[in-house]
Amino acid sequence: MQDGLILTTDPQTDFWQRTHYGFQRDNGHALLTEADGSFTFTTRVRFQYAGQYDQCGIMVRVDDQQWIKVSLEYEDSQYGRLGSVVTHLGYSDWATTDVSSKINELWYRVQREGDDFTITYASDGQEWIQMRITHLHGAPSQLKVGFYACSPQDSSFTCTFDQASLTADS
């Protein structure tokens, strides 16, 4: 990917199922490819969020009831929430760490080993920091992985994914 993938979100788009907020939304933007077995997917994303809850990052997807997303979600002018969502049996969870909302570029990496996934991030693409280790119960060998972005409120923003790679791991 030389120039990168540029994505502009539509308002009222999200990937979320039931938990806490009660709503279900599966209409975010995603460009996914098939991945089989163990793999590592890495990308850098640059963004200029426009509204609360704007987000972009990596998605691993089985179907609308089972998936993982990792991103930095804009909260307000002070901070954002660096985190991951794991959706299983139609319910989403959300693990976060508050970070500065001045951040406008991050690297994300998801590594699959069996049904286990290790999620890391880096500000420079070199020094990876673990965010989470999670499990997708009974995930098929072949699933989808790639880029996602959404704007759950009435905003819209543009992000650019580049430096992306998908490698099979043994």
pLDDT digits (tens, 9 = 90+) for 120-168: 999 999 999 999 999 998 899 999 999 999 999 999 999 999 999 999 9
Q: What's 112's DSSP letter?
A: E
**Dihedral of the alpha carbons of 80, 31, 33, 70, in degrees to the nearest 10:** 10
Dist. CA 79–CA 100, nearest whole Å: 4
Residue type, 90: G
Q: For 9-37, what is each residue's pLDDT tens digit?
A: 999 999 887 666 666 778 999 999 999 99
Its pTM stands at 0.93
Which residue is associated with the tokens 């009660």? 22
DSSP string, 91-116: EE--EEEEEETT--EEEEEEEEETTE
Residues 6+ apart with CB under 8 A from 56: 7, 9, 45, 47, 71, 147, 148, 149, 150, 159, 161
Q: For 59-68, what is each residue's pLDDT tens digit?
A: 999 998 899 9
Dist. CA 166–CA 14, nearest whole Å: 24
Residues 6+ apart with CB under 8 A from 79: 98, 99, 100, 101
Q: Is the pLDDT of residue 57 over 80?
A: yes
How many structural domains comprise the chain? Answer: 1
CATH of residue 138's domain is: 2.60.120.200
Residue-range definition of the domain harbouring residue 149: 5-168
